[in-house]
Amino acid sequence: MKINWNYIKTFLLIGAVFVLFAFAEKRNSTRVLSEVNLHFTNDENLYLTEEAVNKLLIQNEVRVKSVGKETLDLNRVESLLEAHEMVENAEVFMTVDGKLGAEITQRKPLARVFGENTYYIDRQGLKMPLSEYYSARVPLVAGISEKQLKEVQPLLSYINEDDFLKKHVTGLQRLEGGRYELQLRKLDFVVFLGAVNDLETKFKNFKAFYLKAMKDKKLNAYTKVDLQFGNQVVCTKK
């Protein structure tokens, strides 16, 4: 019997194609989502790294096997990312070339609580854990509990958004009745702010006092500067 080698070669070629296709399909179905294109929107140091994000996705078995089939649940991926303690917001999307992308906004610490438990206060007035990747240079807050974070948040936001205060304020102490004292960089006196109200007026008065005292070379002549009395600044001399 004469063997038709052309038929055999054709069948072998078809079989090889199926084997390669099956191998590629299996490989894609188990390929972990480690190639996600990440972009951190914060223009500052990272409290969360790409490696940490990829680890989170791997642990939750997020895979790319269904990306091309449009069945990947992008909302689930967003929820996983936003559940991370360092993430404030996440936007997950598909790029034009079929890859998965994510824009991540990190939580922003405004201050660091110093006490029995150490943690950050973020810009929403919520407790934020310390990061193993970066330590933020923010004011220290003492004498405060977790129940009082929302109380101090407006003060911390005001300080963070003001270049002068951000440069000079290094610490805050909560006193009885929700009153606050501020410690300043390289100065001996404390600033008694009082309650967290009328911040614009109080700090406007303080800046005027500071510039006048610096001009007169008397910044080191005081132990306390009191801002709680409306439009006046009351100073205690050494």
pTM across the whole model: 0.77
Domain with CATH 3.10.20 in the chain: 32-106
Distance from the first to the final alpha carbon of the chain: 117
- Binned at pLDDT 50, 70 and 90, residue 50 comes out as confident
Residue bearing tokens 């910044």:
219
Paired sense of beta strands 190-194 and 179-184, if any: antiparallel
> Phi-psi bin for 9: left (phi > 0), alpha (psi -120 to 50), beta?
alpha
- Give pLDDT, residue 185: 93
Share of the chain above pLDDT 90, in %: 50
Res 92 pLDDT > 80: yes
- Binned at pLDDT 50, 70 and 90, residue 27 comes out as very low
Share of the chain above pLDDT 70, in %: 78
Higher-confidence residue of 12 and 23: namely 12
Tokens of 186: 């390289």
Domain with CATH 3.40.50.11690 in the chain: 109-237
Q: Which of 9-18, 86-95, 167-176 has the highest mean pLDDT?
A: 167-176
Q: What is the mean pLDDT of the chain?
A: 82
- Give pLDDT, residue 231: 81
* Mean pLDDT along residues 94-100: 74
d(CA 237, CA 55): 57
Res 54 pLDDT > 50: yes
Look at residues 94, 99, 82, 95 and name the one whose alpha carbon lies nearest to residue 35.
99
Res 82 pLDDT > 60: yes
Tokens of 100: 């998965």
The string over 215-235, giving b where at least 16 C-beta atoms fall within 10 Å of a residue's C-beta and e elsewhere, is: eeeebeebeebbbbeeeebee
Res 46 pLDDT > 70: yes
Q: Are 30 and 63 in contact (CB under 8 A)?
A: yes
* Mean pLDDT along residues 168-179: 96
Provide the CATH number for the domain formed by 109-237 in this structure: 3.40.50.11690
Res 146 pLDDT > 90: yes
Q: Indicate the length of the chain as a whole number.
A: 238
Tokens of 113: 């609580």
Res 67 pLDDT > 50: no
What architecture is the 32-106 domain classified under in CATH?
Roll (3.10)
The tens digit of pLDDT for each residue in 184-205 reads 998 989 999 999 999 999 999 9
- Give pLDDT, residue 109: 95
Res 32 pLDDT > 60: no
Q: Which of 65-69, 91-95, 126-130, 149-153 has the lowest mean pLDDT?
A: 65-69
Res 223 pLDDT > 60: yes
Res 227 pLDDT > 90: yes
Res 34 pLDDT > 90: no
